[in-house]
Amino acid sequence: MISQVKSVKLMKEHRLSMHCIYILSSIFLIFVWSFFIAPQFKKIPDNFSYKARLLSIDNFYDAKTKKFEGDHISKAVFSYDVLSAESTYLVIMNTFKVTKISGTPIFSVSREYYIDPAEAKHVNIPGKNPRAGYLFAPQYSMGQPFIYWHVNYNAPALMKFVKKEDLYGLKVYEYSANYHADQTSNLVHLPDVPTKRGIRAFIELRLWVEPISGLLVKYVDNTTAYYYDQKTGELIEPWNKFSNRYTERSIVQKVNQAKHLKWKYLWIDFGVPTLIVLVTILLIFYPYISNFYSRASAKAQSNLARHKHLIHVLILILILLAAGLSTFYYFLRCKKTSEIYKVGISQWNNNLESLSAVQGFKDGLAEFGFYEGKNVEFIIRNPNSKFENQLSIIQQFVHDKLDLIFTLSTPGTLIAKGVTSKIPIIFSDVSFPEESGIINKSTNKSNLAGTINYITPAEQFYFLERIFPNIKTLGFLHFKGDPDSEILYKEFKLLLNKRNIEVIDIAAIDVEDMQRQLNFEWNKSKFSALYIACDTLIRDKGYKIAAEFTTVNKIPSFSCDKSSVINGVLVGYFADLYALGKASGIKAAIVLKGGEPSWLKSELPRKGYLIINLITAKLLGLSIPKDEIDQADSIIHTQGEQ
Amino acid sequence: MTLRPKLLMYFFSISILIFVSGIIFYIQLSNLIEPLTPRSIPRSVDQLASIIVKNEVKNRFQYQELQVELNLQNYIYTNNKLSLQHYYLNEGILLQMLKKLEPINPELWPILKNKFSGVQEQRSQIILLMTEHKVELAKTLNNSDDYLQRLTNLKDFIPLYFTNKETPSDEAAVAAVKLAVKNSSQILNAV
């Protein structure tokens, strides 16, 4: 009896000592893991690379007119790459490169950062530009402020917490900062910079950061940069009002990267220590569990034997239930095809041509069995040719998970492309989709297809030349910075210079500037004919000014804009936007039926639309060849009417 | 018979039934899908689309080239301004078309460009002579062996440019699609 009591006591003591060993070992393991092993897994790797594509909108200030020129879209790349790895820090190159849509460089800046790989913080290296703060943001942030260095501005930004947000299923924190920075050293190509003037930027920067890993998921900056006097420091005039934001594709990429990093950090910091604690608990309680289990299993076995048949029947019922549920799910998925499709239309502006393209699009869809109100619903929005409005409209379309988006114009389509890479986009009224980067023929994966609004300069010029043959100088009126008009200008120049016809560039920023420049160029060079492009400015309000100018000054003119000809321009040969819209509608129908946009060609018009203004011809004393009249699709007999 | 063997028998029968019907369904489905596999139809259709596009571009380019030549001849022999305007119109269209031809055959592109430039150079010379009222000289240049040789070289080269060795046979692609349609129709009719 005594010996039994003794052995029980000894066993208890043995168990107690084992428990102590387990607990101490686990504490030791957690310590070693947390302070020596985990940091190795969490530190920035030597081959670290971060790349995001951005949509940039520039609005340059015109010193002559003392006005902003209007929004121009460009593309940018924002990247971090490790240059070299030293013993205590990494040398990381942060680059920001903006180019025009055509690829022409606008601005580029690169800076070297010295980063502690364990904490992702800037470290100060003697002889180098001292910086404090984080490469992106602190890990396990609870919303506390931190310092961030944006490559564009090279100044510390104190980022303050704004709100929590859900981004593609990832919890992110939004931070913002309003600060200013001197950009003189990066913009020495500007006139009188840095000798007399400098550039000061006033920045509103917003960052979206995954709080556990501290990874930057996206940013938006809205900046106005001013020239300032180098002597007095006083602001002189604005230089540029610009904004940058990640494309939706880059945001999705960064969200996925952040999700991966977040779970990696959680596993390293909490998963592994929890596992160690669990194993320790298991080892401590193993004898008790084993004892309990052996008793419980004996009981369960006797119960199991009693209800064996019942269990078999239950398994059978479960299998049948699972089969039934999967059949029901499949049926529901098939049934979804009969739902009403939602198509978002962003018509860019209220111009007659844009409206006829939208009507053509609807008719094209109807031709292939998609009727408004029956099996398709149109959500029509008008951004009024404003980039910011277009951005919000497309973002809303993406948020509402529409089945397809129809966009008009090059900037409108470029913005849509930047916002979504998943929802199919069908475009129209775009003249140079390849040159402007809307479509890339070398890649098979694309969510864009559409119709091209392009008629060769040779064809357009021919119909004017038939009426007015002796053209020596041609004025080319267009919206300054419009990518399509700039390419068309180059094509006209190439075509006509060979024939010793001079082409004068008249690039206006708004209607007042257009009036001023037309008067100036007319008084200076007396161009013998005028071409009026069909870009945003002309289609918005400019066509009336241009048409009036040509009739008042009796200048033979031609245009690719229908409204301009209706209002007084002599002749126009252009793509019929109704027909193009209809062709786009047919493409949209194919996509809604399950086709891929990459299967579709971006089509050119088969034939142009010829419109002649006989009133203007009479006013100018010009006779129209009979065959040209016969060829015309439309003739204007009464001013302002078709 | 007790409940246990009964249940076992049911299980066994149901398993056999599922297995047999699964095999039948699989064979039917594989027969149906086989001709429609991504390896046959989409590839063949892509080949056909590529052939159609190339042929269309080739025909339009050849037609445009003929138009330019015809307008030039008209201008030389009639000295009519309208012919010159038509010449410029068609030349402009032709030059635009030429810009898009490079991706079709990047290997032969420099040769085509070279041959085309050779002809265009001569045409520009002829037009210049005509505008300077040197009609006879223009006619002589137009009928010169050099110009005719350049023109023939270009015309002979255009079909070659559009049919390089990697161009797949349209017959095989058409047959693959027809075969797929025939097989699937037969299977569907049988079902």
Alpha-carbon gap, residue B101 to A293, rounded angstroms: 79
Alpha-carbon gap, residue A274 to B190, rounded angstroms: 62
Higher model confidence: residue B172 or residue A326?
Answer: A326
Q: Name chain A contacts of B86, Cβ cutoff 8 Å.
A: 462
Q: From the centroid of its chain, how far is CA A319?
A: 47
Q: From the centroid of its chain, how far is CA A362?
A: 26
Q: What is the tens place of the pLDDT at every residue in A203-241?
A: 999 999 999 999 999 999 999 999 999 999 999 999 999
**Would you call B3 and A459 a contact, using CB atoms and an 8 Å cutoff?**
no
- Token pair, residue A243, equals 């904004």
Task: Over range B50-72, report the average pLDDT.
Answer: 91
CA distances A18 to A5, A8, A25, A259, Å, are 20, 15, 10, 40
Alpha-carbon gap, residue A553 to A165, rounded angstroms: 59
Closest to A456 (Cβ–Cβ): which among B11, B92, B124?
A: B92
Residue B39 has what pLDDT? 57
A40 three-class SS: helix
Residue A318 has what pLDDT? 87
Closest to B89 (Cβ–Cβ): which among A462, A469, A498?
A: A462
Bridge partners of A77, per DSSP, are A53, A97
Residue A21 has what pLDDT? 86
Query: For tokens 């639309």, what's the residue?
Result: A609
B65 touches chain A (CB under 8 A): no
Q: What is the tens place of the pLDDT at every residue in B24-35?
A: 887 777 666 655
**Would you call A441 and B103 a contact, using CB atoms and an 8 Å cutoff?**
yes
Q: Name chain A contacts of B124, Cβ cutoff 8 Å.
A: 498
Chain B: nearest CA to A496, how far in angstroms? 10
Residues lower than pLDDT 70 in chain A: 1-3, 101-103, 304, 330-338, 442-444, 639-642
Residue B29 has what pLDDT? 73
Closest to A495 (Cβ–Cβ): which among B90, B92, B124?
A: B92
Residue B187 has what pLDDT? 65
Beta-carbon-side half-sphere exposure of residue A245 (alpha carbons within 13 Å): 18
**Would you call B10 and A316 a contact, using CB atoms and an 8 Å cutoff?**
yes
- Does the bond joining A194 to the residue before it have cis omega, within 30 degrees of 0? yes
Share of chain B above pLDDT 70, in %: 84
- Please name the residue of chain A whose CA is at the shortest distance from the CA of residue B100: A434
Task: Over range B157-174, report the average pLDDT.
Answer: 72
Pairing between strand A67-68 and A49-62? antiparallel
Chain B: nearest CA to A122, how far in angstroms? 48
Alpha-carbon gap, residue A620 to A628, rounded angstroms: 17
Residue in A528, A407, A507 with CA at minimum distance from that of residue A461: A528
Bridge partners of A209, per DSSP, are A173, A216
Residue B191 has what pLDDT? 56
Higher model confidence: residue B165 or residue A304?
Answer: A304
Residue A336 has what pLDDT? 52
Beta-carbon-side half-sphere exposure of residue A29 (alpha carbons within 13 Å): 15
Q: Name chain B contacts of A308, Cβ cutoff 8 Å.
A: 4
Residue A180 has what pLDDT? 92
Length of chain B: 191
Alpha-carbon gap, residue A369 to A585, rounded angstroms: 11
Query: For tokens 């800037």, what's the residue?
Result: A122
End-to-end CA gap in chain B: 41
Q: Name chain B contacts of A312, Cβ cutoff 8 Å.
A: 7, 11
Residue A80 has what pLDDT? 95
Bridge partners of A426, per DSSP, are A406, A449
Alpha-carbon gap, residue A149 to A135, rounded angstroms: 7
**Would you call A309 and B103 a contact, using CB atoms and an 8 Å cutoff?**
no
H runs (alpha helix) in chain B: 3-33, 41-78, 81-99, 109-131, 135-142, 145-162, 170-190
Beta-carbon-side half-sphere exposure of residue A554 (alpha carbons within 13 Å): 5
Alpha-carbon gap, residue A496 to A494, rounded angstroms: 6
Residue B6 has what pLDDT? 79
- Token pair, residue B41, equals 């139809």
Residue A438 has what pLDDT? 87
Alpha-carbon gap, residue A579 to A611, rounded angstroms: 15
Alpha-carbon gap, residue A618 to A560, rounded angstroms: 21
> What are the residues whose beta carbons fall under 8 Å from the beta carbon of A392, sequence distance 6 or more?
none
**Would you call A462 and B11 a contact, using CB atoms and an 8 Å cutoff?**
no
**Interface list for chain A against chain B, based on CB atoms closer than 8 Å:** 308-309, 312-313, 316, 441, 456-459, 461-462, 465-466, 469, 495, 498-499, 601
Residue A175 has what pLDDT? 96
CA distances A322 to A121, A319, A328, Å, are 52, 5, 10
Answer left, alpha or beta for residue A154, where phi above 0 means left and psi between -120 and 50 means alpha: left
Backbone angles phi, psi at A530, to 5 degrees: -130, 135
Alpha-carbon gap, residue A349 to A381, rounded angstroms: 9
The ipTM value here is: 0.72
Q: Reply yes or no on whether the pLDDT at B178 is more than 80.
A: no
Residue A335 has what pLDDT? 54
Q: Name chain A contacts of B11, Cβ cutoff 8 Å.
A: 312, 316
- Please name the residue of chain A whose CA is at the shortest distance from the CA of residue B4: A309
Bridge partners of A450, per DSSP, are A427
CA distances A69 to A511, A545, B101, Å, are 11, 18, 37
Chain B: nearest CA to A309, how far in angstroms? 6
Closest to A309 (Cβ–Cβ): which among B4, B90, B103?
A: B4
Residue B31 has what pLDDT? 65
Selected residue of B7, B56, B102 to mutate for chain A interface (largest A Cβ count, 10 A)? B7
